[in-house]
Structure 1
Amino acid sequence: MTDAFETILFDEPRPHVARITLNRPAQMNAYSFRMTQELLAAIAAFRDDDGLRALVITGAGERAFCTGGDISGADAEHSRKVRSSPMGHGREMRDGMQAVVLALRRLDKPSVAMIRGFAVAGGLALALACDLRIAGASARLGDTSNKVGLLPDEGGAWLFPRAMGLDRALKMTLLHEIYPASVAKDLGLVTEVVGDPVLEAHTLDLCEQLAAKAPLAVRLTKMMMAKAMETPLESSLADAQMAVMISNPSQDVREGVAAFREKRPPRFEGR
């Protein structure tokens, strides 16, 4: 599959761990429409492969994770097609980065954004669409969309307030603020900050740990918690009742209990 991609890389750096790398370092990994389509294909490949249990998304080079949409005008033909239709801009967004954000949010396996350099505008939305965000100490995060009259339209208007509160999200976007990684962590935009030299090893170690957990339990837990953010307690408890009818009779639970009793590491197979 990797051979078919022009703007991203797709590999498996650790057992059961997939990695998608935005690969336009000269453009600070700003996304093009082609990149969004390749991201969707790679996310679907990860989603449908039961042998892959955790996903890392990162950017090539040291300068940026992703700086949002590419507004350089490099793809003049695509821009012309967008402008030629009254619905062009909305359709491009719907079928492009918005679809990527939805695909990540709908995953029932954990995803981790590994952030070097800048993650701004749509790049910040992409990072927030992942379950966890590990940033290098020199990373910078914020929203610059309003700076050129654009909007937080990739999902930022929904994701930013949920991560940091409405007032802080408005301040960040309206004043197009960019924060050091340590401040971004305090604001809720980042899960963890680590030293730049250990960022990759730390993130892959984390994903390897996630991949070693019981796959059914991980997937069901993620689904339950994500849905619970938008539903009342009673509905969440009902979802839990349905989920345990899948998980409790599973081979994974039998293996986990046996490993506990035998004082050995469990060997989960996801069934």
Structure 2
Amino acid sequence: MSEHAPLIIETPATYIRRIRLNRPKQMNAYTTQMCDAMCDELDAYLKDDDLRVLIVTGEGRGFCAGGDVSNADTDRAHLMSQQLSHAREMRDGMHKVIQTLHHLDKPIIAAINGPAVAGGLALALACDFRIAAASAKLGDTSGRFALLPDEGGGWLFPRAMGLDKALQMTLLAETYSADEAMTLGLVTQVVEDDTLEATALELATRLAAQSPLAVRLAKSMMRNGLDLTLEQSQREAALAVMIANPSDDVAEGVKAFFEKRAPVFSGK
């Protein structure tokens, strides 16, 4: 793939897809072109039954520095003259990326190799697991530019770290070390820089070995359950059981248990 392509797409192991944001000189700050490419790749991941786990990471020293502000004057002139078209760009750009990641029923791992700030932090939080390199910095720097956490941070940040901590981070434009971010609930795991890719791939491999049907249904149940009552969640679970229990994977899981071997799940 061209070094100028906004994404680098890799298949590091069976069932596993990896997306690298590819604007290393800009710390992978996103553009409209990158958002369009991300939406296309997420759609391809969802529709390909041979892909069970997705890893999102950055090329070079950064994960994602949020939106590209290098053309701030031009962008401001565009915004002031065409507010509605700017809103459409957001809706069809990073808003769509964040929403797609959040609602995907397949597992997604963010391998945070460097700074994940502002929209980059929202991108990471829209994934299911966040493994951070020890040197990574995370936070919301949008306030330094008098900007807002508009990519989804206003919804994602308080849910990850609590309202008071999210307000402190955003209103004071704070960033944190990887260890501090884990304490705050922004990160799942912190590892040494040189083991980040191997750790993310190990987790992806473990996830890929599970029943893809059960994984997708369980993820959907938990994601949806955050906005449901207990009774509503249980009703949804009863419907999911009607799909899962008759599957070949359940039969394989039971058979493997009695044969004292690891199951081999097909997703059927």
TM-score (norm 1): 0.95
Q: Deviations over 1:159-183 (max 9, x none)?
A: 0000000000000000000000000
Q: Does 1:72 align with 2:73?
A: no
Partner AA of 1:128 in structure 2 = L
Deviation at 1:93, TM superposition (A): 1.1
- Could you tell me which of 96, 106, 110 is aligned with 1:109? 106
Q: Residues 141-156 of structure 1 correspond to what in structure 2 (within 5 A)?
A: 141-156=138-153
Partner AA of 2:25 in structure 1 = A
Q: Does 1:129 align with 2:122?
A: no
Q: Which residue of 2 aligns with 1:35?
A: 34
C-alpha change, 1:151 and 1:237, in structure 2 (3 Å) is same
Q: Are the equivalent residues in 2 in contact too, given 1:83–1:89 (CA < 8 A)?
A: no
How many residues align structurally?
268
Q: Which whole-Å CA distance do the structure 1 matches of 2:108 and 2:18 have between them?
A: 10
What SS is found at the alignment partner of 2:95?
helix
Q: Residues 46-85 of structure 1 correspond to what in structure 2 (within 5 A)?
A: 46-62=45-61, 64-73=62-71, 83-85=80-82
Is there any run of 5+ residues in structure 2 with no aligned partner, and where?
none
Q: Deviations over 1:103-133 (max 9, x none)?
A: 1011110000000110000000000000000
Deviation at 1:5, TM superposition (A): 8.0
Q: Which whole-Å CA distance do the structure 2 matches of 1:12 and 1:83 have between them?
A: 42
TM-score (norm 2): 0.96
Q: Which whole-Å CA distance do the structure 1 matches of 2:58 and 2:246 have between them?
A: 40
Q: Does 1:196 align with 2:212?
A: no
Q: Are the equivalent residues in 2 in contact too, given 1:136–1:181 (CA < 8 A)?
A: yes
Q: CA RMSD in A?
A: 1.7
Q: Which residue of 1 aligns with 2:7?
A: 8
Q: Which whole-Å CA distance do the structure 2 matches of 1:266 and 1:180 have between them?
A: 39
Q: Are the equivalent residues in 2 in contact too, given 1:255–1:266 (CA < 8 A)?
A: yes
- Could you tell me which of 53, 74, 85 is aligned with 1:88? 85
What SS is found at the alignment partner of 2:186?
coil
Q: Which residue of 2 aligns with 1:138?
A: 135
Q: Deviations over 1:226-262 (max 9, x none)?
A: 0000110000000000000000000000000000000
